[in-house]
Amino acid sequence: MFRRMHDNDRGTGSETVKMTVEGKEITVPLGETVAAAMLAGGFEYARTTPVSGARRAPFCMIGACFDCLVEIDGIPNQQACQTPVRQGMRVNLQKGARDIDS
């Protein structure tokens, strides 16, 4: 569903970084945000809600809606749309009180 319009249009050349999302290693262009990398990597949602466990995906991509909250390097409640990727970053989906996949 989500795809990049260009391989890399940020003027950073062909530089990439490797990061891990939910244990899956992905290679992404340097300068991209965690939310964009997750969407392009096939991840359909970033978190589940605390009460119902409903899946929430990055929505506004400008830091206003907080639907992109993830755990980055063990720190919860990080806005994926506002966080640039970096080499070796470990990202996990943020699980609410009830995990709907259980």
> Predicted confidence band at 49 (pLDDT cuts at 50, 70, 90)?
very high
Q: Is 28 exposed, middle or buried (0-12, 13-18, 19+ CB in 10 A)?
A: buried
Beta strands in 1-102 (DSSP E): 16-21, 24-29, 47-48, 55-56, 69-72, 75-79, 90-93
pLDDT-above-70 percentage for the chain: 81
What pTM was computed for the model?
0.84
In whole angstroms, give the CA distance from residue 102 to residue 96. 12
Please compute the mean of the pLDDT values over residues 17-41 and round it to a whole number: 96
Give the residue with greater pLDDT, 82 vs 102: 82
Asked if pLDDT for residue 73 goes beyond 90, the answer is yes
Domains of the chain: 16-93 (3.10.20.740)
Asked if pLDDT for residue 47 goes beyond 80, the answer is yes
